[in-house]
Amino acid sequence: MSQIDASKHNSDQLYKIRHSAEHVLTHAMTRLYGPDKFFMAMGPATDDGYYFDFETLNDFKISEEDFPKIEAEMAKIIKENLPILRQEISQDEAKKLFKDNPYKMEWLNSIADKGEIISIYKTGQDFTDLCAGPHVEKTSEIKAFKLLSIAGAYWHGDEKNKMLTRIYGTAFESQESLNKYLEMLEEAQKRDHRKLGKELGLFTFSELIGSGLPLYTPKGASIRLAVNNYVESVQIKQGYTQVWTPQIAKAKLFQISGHYDKYKDSMFRVVSNFSDEEFFLKPMNCPQHTQIYAAAPHSYRDLPLRYADFAMLYRDEKPGELNGLARVRAFSQDDCHIFCTEDQVDQEIDVALKMTKEIMDTFGLKYKYRLSTRDPQHPEKYLGDPATWDRVEKWAVDIMKRNKIEYFDGPGEAAFYAPKMDLIATDALGREWQLSTVQIDFVMPERFGLEYTAADGTKKRPIMIHRAIIGSPERFMMIMLEHFAGAFPLWLSPVGAKIIPITDTQHDYANKILTKLKEQGIRAELDDRSEKMQAKIRDAQMEKIPYMLIIGGREVESNSVSVRQRDGQDLGALPFDEFLAKVKDQINTKSLNLIK
């Protein structure tokens, strides 16, 4: 069962409240409809609340219209102040208790295979569920809750399994916190990148191409390119050089790197008509970059080598987990791998952290760092010497402290080959997204036998630093689309200015303005439709275009433009050269604001 990151909240109490609210939900449904109407499957707490999956039986159905009745029963259970008690039981006892529920029986077999303790939680006298916990002690500790939506969900997220019904809900420590969250949800619906992407014509999907494989229109591609070009302009100043690698590779490459054993089920297999060799679409760039390094001998004088790569990557995500641009099967990364000596690591990471700060500041994002380390309960998940892991995890802490970076711990969030320093950005709605990462990797150079000649003539292993700043430009576009509610700053906007002549007699002048803007690299369009001016302005505002340049007879005579902004502000007439200078400055400085 998935769990929320408790560090995102004030304390573990919120996790307990949400987990307990899910039990109250299932308890209420059992009271209302009886245990023979559905099978309880699973119901974890999540980052935003909780959900409950169940299989309906004998034509029984639940819709959002039933939520008020279910919520009323939940409120009754909470008011009864029922104790929620944990009890450890044997495998035989558990199988007798849940013998009629195939989902609980599957969980019990899984628990037995892992050798874990079996625990149940009882709510009052009439409800029991298989659960690892934790929970609050009494139902009255749930102060505020709300059922949110209902959807279909495959068991274990696998489309080969049965489709279950999923109810989403949330719970908080106070009604005030719940109200703020519901307001955020309402605003998030308005900013949904799938809705905005369609309205603004940025990207689309096709059943003929496949789910999770986005197609970017000229407008969407311009945003993607602007983001990539900006990142490249920052990192090229620090000596990063771009490489390009194939989108397929032999299975052996991923077997050596370790990805084959860890991620084979999430990789697309490629079949050749002329070879029996096993190939895969690449899910990450790092193994390929080791082969660029290995293609020539290297001396300590050559290092560091910084390989940047924006090539496409592919991962076979489950259909039920795909979500617009947030979770796709085809994406790229602003990836970089630095091969360096051990005494160069600190400086290289300091530069990477500085670049990251510059780029996050440009987009106006607040952020914090997570130190992603091993899961101490599952050492088998990781490659390499445990002593090296201990050393690198401590090294990462020292780097954070030296750079005066506040961070929180993320046990179990490490990559299988290295701990990570992960940046968690906060958008305009207070939601958190993992973006950049920095990793000090001793494992990959060892597995691929990478070497350089040291000053004393001996052969040594380079250190491999993995670094990304925005992560996936596609996912970053999604975050920015929702962060700015589609109203991108001028330098990112697919169309920066819409030229609107009042009558046909201004078309020649309007075309001259269009040409001059394009010559200066400013994306602009001319609206010469036979529509009323106010309709054209309204359409441009709906497209969230930063500037509308209204051109009438006076503007032609004075070589000016009448400027209106997408927020409705009318700046009046400005000499065209003055307007041009202002917007060029906005673009050059990557300003987040329009003309003051």
Tokens representing 256 are 């050596």
Q: What is the mean pLDDT of residues 423-437?
A: 90
CA distance readout (Å), 464 to 85, 341, 440: 50, 9, 6
* Residues 375, 380, 385: CA angle, nearest 5 degrees: 90
420 is catalytic: yes
Task: Give percent of the chain with pLDDT exceeding 90.
Answer: 75
Domains of the chain with CATH codes: 6-181 (3.30.980.10), 203-245+283-483 (3.30.930.10), 497-588 (3.40.50.800)
Q: Write down the pTM of the prediction.
A: 0.83
Nearest one of 460, 443, 464 to 452, comparing CA atoms: 460
Here the tokens at position 311 are 């090539």
Per-residue pLDDT, 6:
37
Contact 84, 137 (CB under 8 A): yes
The amino acid that residue 200 corresponds to is: L
Question: Is residue 400 scored above 90 in pLDDT?
Answer: yes
In this structure, is the dihedral angle defined by the CA atoms of residues 377, 382, 383 and 385, taken in order, positive or negative?
negative
Residues counted in the chain: 596
Query: What pLDDT was estimated at residue 126?
Result: 87
C-alpha to C-alpha distance for 551 and 592, rounded to whole angstroms:
26
Predicted pLDDT at 329: 95
Mean pLDDT of all residues belonging to the chain: 92
Short-list 344, 479, 482, 481, CA closest to 424: 479
Distance CA 191, CA 204 (A): 17
**Which pLDDT band holds residue 8 (cuts at 50, 70, 90)?**
very low
Per-residue pLDDT for 484 more than 60?
yes
pLDDT score of 7: 39
286 is in an annotated binding site: yes
* Residue 156 annotated as lining a ligand binding site: no
- Cα–Cα distance measured from residue 418 to residue 40, given in angstroms and rounded to the nearest whole number: 38
Distance between CA 193 and CA 488 in Å, rounded? 13
Active-site residue (options: 27, 288, 309, 333): 333
The active-site residue out of 420, 467, 498, 536 is 420
Q: At what angle do helices 473-483 and 218-235 cross, to 10 degrees?
A: 110
In this prediction, residues 141-154 reach a mean pLDDT of 92
434 is catalytic: no
Average pLDDT value for residue range 88-94: 89
As a whole number, mean pLDDT of residues 318-337 equals 90
Q: What is the mean pLDDT of residues 472-501?
A: 94
Active site residue 335: yes
Angle in degrees, CA 56, 57, 63, rounded to 5: 35
Q: pLDDT (tens digit, 9 = 90+) per residue, 25-44?
A: 999 999 999 888 899 998 88
> Does the CA dihedral 127-128-131-137 come out positive or negative?
positive
Closest CA to 130 of 52, 21, 41: 41
The active-site residue out of 334, 335, 422, 527 is 335
Percent of the chain with pLDDT strictly greater than 70: 98
Is 27 marked within a binding site? no
- The DSSP symbol for 172 reads E
Across 244-270, b (16+ Cβ under 10 Å) vs e yields ebebebebebbebbbbbebbeeebbeb
Mean pLDDT calculated for residue range 49-57: 92
pLDDT recorded at residue 447: 96
d(CA 524, CA 494): 9
Has 291 been annotated as catalytic?
no
Of the candidates 337, 498, 544, 566, the residue annotated as catalytic is: 337
Give the whole-angstrom CA distance, residue 589 versus residue 267. Answer: 41
Contact 74, 25 (CB under 8 A): yes
In sign, the C-alpha dihedral spanning 427, 433, 435, 438 is: positive
Q: What is the pLDDT of residues 162-203, one digit of tens each?
A: 899 999 999 999 999 999 999 999 998 999 999 999 999 999
578-594 residue pLDDT tens = 999 999 999 999 999 99
Q: pLDDT tens digits, residue range 528-576? A: 998 899 999 999 999 999 999 999 999 999 999 999 999 989 999 999 9
Q: Which of 515, 497, 496 is nearest to 507 (CA)?
A: 515
pLDDT of residue 159: 76
Q: How confident is the model at residue 318 (pLDDT cuts 50, 70, 90)?
A: confident
Name the catalytic one among 27, 193, 259, 315. 315
What confidence score (pLDDT) does residue 404 get?
Answer: 92
**108 within 8 A of 130, measured Cβ to Cβ:** yes
Q: What is the mean pLDDT of residues 210-239?
A: 94
Does the pLDDT of residue 4 top 80, yes or no? Answer: no
Q: Is the pLDDT of residue 1 over 50?
A: no
